[in-house]
Structure 1
Amino acid sequence: MRAPGRVRAAALALAARSSEPVSAYLYDLAALDRHAAGLRAGLPPAFELFYAVKANPEPHLLQTLAPHVHGFEVASGGELAQVRAQFPQMPVIFGGPGKTDAELALALETGTEVIHVESRSELERLAWTARTRGQIASVLLRVNLRVETLPETPLTMGGRPTPFGIDAAEVPACLSWLEEHPELRLRGIHFHLLSHQLDAGAHLRLLAAYAAQVRGWQAQHGLPLDLLNVGGGIGVNYRDPQRPFDWAAFCAGLPALAAQLPGVRWRLELGRYVTAGCGYYAMQVIDVKRTLGETFVVARGGTHQFRTPAAQGHSHPFEVLPVDPWPHPYARGSHEGGPVTVVGQLCTPKDVLAREVPVSRLRAGDLLLFPLAGAYAWNISHQQFLSHPAPAMVFLPLEERESMAVGPGGLVQA
């Protein structure tokens, strides 16, 4: 995957200005704008697109996404406060396990549209919080549902014992309890059983299973329902980027699902699939060495800045950006015509970003540019390990003007 020309140029310009090897995140906001617009355009009328802020909460990204999404999904009081500070009027939904009483109160105070309740205890605590504040809270019940044909993906949050959601067997009791607590208004159900789904057909079948279960509860218990949140779960194909999730085929199958639940709004809360493609991680090569038959490329940064490859267990794709001239008086380490393993600066053998990847030519001082770095990357990394400096943050704007890079010392021109 070759990065767009302006991304490559910004990375090279950053390296040219620095007397030290660089590491940086570069975000192509124009690409994000186009991608988000395309996602929204593909959805039929009954479907809404929410962005899961946990994937990447960078304010520049949220500002770019705001015109295209129906709202934001947050999973902590911190995310809620951040989003509300930037977008006081945008619809916000609050999910995630382990909400504290203070977070539930903040959700009511800031006008959260819907709270996704994860347990009977949380339901009761929210009712108490709403009652003491004299408010009515709108809720969805997050349900952990067993699905006989649950697809296999690398990350499963339901369909088996997990800490997420209410056991489906408890739903009838929760519905009865809610009838006696008018301080809570039940709007519907939230399912989110898995992530990293790359098969559009399998994902449509999973959503059909959700709809079938909801119809059963409607028939048996008179379940009130105007919202069905089917979570996120759509993955990014890091191992084979040329074979992404088929969004067009997925959207083509959605009208048939909507017909099964007339009058219901379906919500998708996508994170990784929205922002991964707009981000790039750049690291400059410090050393090229051969040890016991394997060539290692040691570069500025590492998994403390870009944890995605370690978290996902794959060799992340990258391209080499040659950097010339070589300004140092000592020899320039190099490697040609064979596989290399890319590692960072950490004192652990787990600090690997790509293993045994063939390259034609690579030298000390060159830049390695990793695509698909716009989600669950910097924000999930163990940033304080070894106290290395933070990467620069470069945001390439929608308009053709100078970008800005945000580094540890503040704003610098990119």
Structure 2
Amino acid sequence: MKAYVREAINRLQAESREPFCAYLYDLGGIRAHVRGMRRYMPERTGLFYAIKANPDRRIIEALLPLIDGFEVASAGELLKVREVSGSVPVLFGGPGKKEAELEAAIRHNVSYIHVESLLELRRLIRLTQGRSEPVRILLRMNLRTSALPQTHITMGGRPTPFGLDEELLDEAIAVIREEGRGAVRLCGFHFHSLSNNLRAELHAEMIELYLRKAEEWMERYRLDIEIVNAGGGFGVPYDDAPPFDWALFTSLIARSEARKRLARVQLWFEPGRFLVANHGYYAAEVIDIKPSHDRYFAVLRGGTHHNRLPASWGHNHPFAVLPAERWAYPFARPEIRRGKVTLVGELCTPKDRLHADAEVELLRVGDIVVFEKSGAYCWTISHHDFLGHPHPKFYYLAEGNDHATHANMDN
């Protein structure tokens, strides 16, 4: 954990009258990370942020000048982006777009719609008949292959609700040419087959497959496409596994033979987690430590209603302990030394766990447990109002210093 993050949490807890519970987002860290990523990116590649990972307005604002646009998966996400910028390029995805969402996408001038089914394609054509300009689309494809890397979440190369099976491409092209003339314009293909892949070599091989498929379809259907959107799926480890090697990945892409053959085609990436996960922290004060059947449990002011990712993915979330010296009571302060403890939340369910059997040197009531790598899919996917506990506070660390600005937000 960075020293200025640690210092900010200690200061904020000291100022708090209630047991401390907050998210801290290091906006400077996010921006520095993205600048570093861009230095490695080959020519004619684009970087979009998939805001499903974390749609916090301050994060969108921080990324706005550094990336090529945003990927959204609902009308609600679209409006979050448009509240920040009315002109930034937006890609609109999602497997179940309602007509009202397609209308909103057109009204709010999205750059491209990722079409995921034949029915969705026909609905879009119906909505766009008579427009002066066709709506630009990418067909999201689900490849029939076993050559994709296997991860915790897989959305392609198997039966899923995502995208068009490649066997349906003949029909999709026919619908575009026969029914959608002047209404939609096919600009390329979109692929997003997996989530949280940690192996750069395998990810590059997957992109090579995407490019070869796009090249094959361009020749077969006599298409002049502009874009291959290779999606996201770049991983962040929540254990001791090595991180995704972005420099290696981009160097492999730069040497790709298929990429060289499609040199005029834009190759886009739309990561979410990889941009923000490492720059978010969920800090929760220990409010009790109790023994039970020869095990120890530390109860936190917080839990899975604030950070559901570890329960959702079934992992132990990485954390650090920040000691706090204040203790206002005349009786002994509960603690555990050099032992194992399970970190749980304040909810009335045994599933409210963030880390099981963690080894700690010293943990006391009043100390702060800081769950690192909490910038993505933590607050957003959580059941915030279960049991009616107060929401955490949100703080934002500015670039170049440890000053934390505060906002009460219901994201």
TM-score normalised by the chain length of structure 1: 0.95
1:399 Cα shift? 4.7
Matches within 5 A, 1:234-253: 234-240=234-240, 243-253=242-252
User: How far 1:329 sits from its partner (Å)?
Assistant: 2.5
Change (3 A) 1:386 1:212: same
**What's 2:330 paired with?**
329
For 1:405, give the aligned amino acid.
Answer: H
Distance 2:67 2:128 in 1: 28
Instruction: Give the alignment of 1:371-410 within 5 angstroms.
Output: 371-400=372-401, 402-407=403-408
**Large movers: runs of 4+ above 6 Å:** none
1:307-343 residue CA offsets vs partner (Å, 9 max, x unmatched) = 1111221111111101012122332100001111100
Confirm or deny that 1:315 pairs with 2:313: no
Is 1:159 aligned to 2:160, yes or no? Answer: no
> Once structures 1 and 2 are overlaid, which stretch shifts more, 144-153 or 224-233?
144-153
What is residue 267 of structure 1 aligned with on the other side?
Answer: 268
Give 1:403 deviation, angstroms.
2.3
Contact 1:278 1:372 in 2 (8 A): yes
**Equivalent residues, number:** 406
Give 1:146 shift: 1.7
Query: What SS is found at the alignment partner of 2:18?
Result: coil
- Amino acid aligned to 1:314: H
Q: Distance in 1 between matches of 2:323 and 2:225?
A: 57
TM-score (norm 2): 0.96
Q: Does 1:145 align with 2:143?
A: yes
Residue 286 of structure 1 aligns with which residue? 287
Distance (Å, rounded) in 2 between the aligned partners of 1:245 and 1:5: 24
Q: CA deviation at 1:148?
A: 2.6
Is the Cα–Cα contact under 8 Å of residues 131 and 183 in structure 2 kept in the other structure? no
1:57 is matched with 55
Q: Which amino acid in 1 is paired with 2:297? A: F
Name 1:175's counterpart in structure 2.
Answer: 173
CA distance in 1, matches of 2:175, 2:190: 18
Q: Deviation of residue 401 (structure 1)?
A: 7.2
Q: How many angstroms does 1:132 deviate by?
A: 5.1
For structure 2, the 5+ residue unaligned runs are none
Partner SS, residue 115 of structure 1: strand
Contact map agreement 2:7 2:402 (CA 8 A) in 1? no
The answer for unaligned runs of 5 or more in structure 1 is 410-414
User: Aligned residue for 1:99?
Assistant: 97
Where 2:380 maps in the other structure, the secondary structure is helix
Cα deviation, residue 24, structure 1: 0.5
Mapped partners of 2:231, 2:29: distance in 1? 24
**Deviation larger for 128-137 or 252-261:** 128-137
> Residue type of the partner of 2:169?
V
Kindly indicate whether the alpha-carbon contact (under 8 Å) linking 2:279 and 2:375 is maintained by their aligned counterparts in 1.
Answer: yes
For residues 407 and 51 of structure 1, the distance between their equivalents in structure 2, rounded to whole angstroms, comes to 24
Please give the secondary structure, in 2, of the residue aligned with 1:98.
coil
Structure 2 counterpart of 1:223: 223
Aligned to 1:45: 43
Does 1:68 find its partner at 2:66? yes
> What do residues 185-216 of structure 1 show as CA deviations (whole Å, max 9, x unaligned)?
00010011111100000101111111121121
Structure 2 contact 341–356 (Cα < 8 Å) conserved? yes
Distance 2:30 2:409 in 1: 24
Residues 2-54 of structure 1, C-alpha deviations (whole Å, 9 max, x = no match): x1112111111221122221111011111111001111221101210000011
Report the Cα distance in structure 1 between the residues aligned to 2:206 and 2:409, rounded to whole angstroms: 44
Calculate the aligned-residue CA RMSD, in Å.
1.4
Q: Kindly tell me: are residues 401 and 208 of structure 1, through their superposed partners in 2, closer, same or farther at Cα, counting changes over 3 Å?
A: closer
C-alpha distance in 2 between matches for 1:5 and 1:64: 21
- Listed one character per residue, the Cα deviations across residues 92-116 of structure 1 (whole Å, up to 9, x for unaligned) are 1101111111111111111111000
CA deviations on 1:129-163 (whole Å, 9 max, x unpaired) are: 11155541000000111223121111001111110
Q: Tell me, yes or no, if the aligned pair for 2:315 and 2:355 is still in contact at 8 Å.
A: yes
Q: Which residue of 1 aligns with 2:5?
A: 7
Distance 1:32 1:93, change over 3 A: same
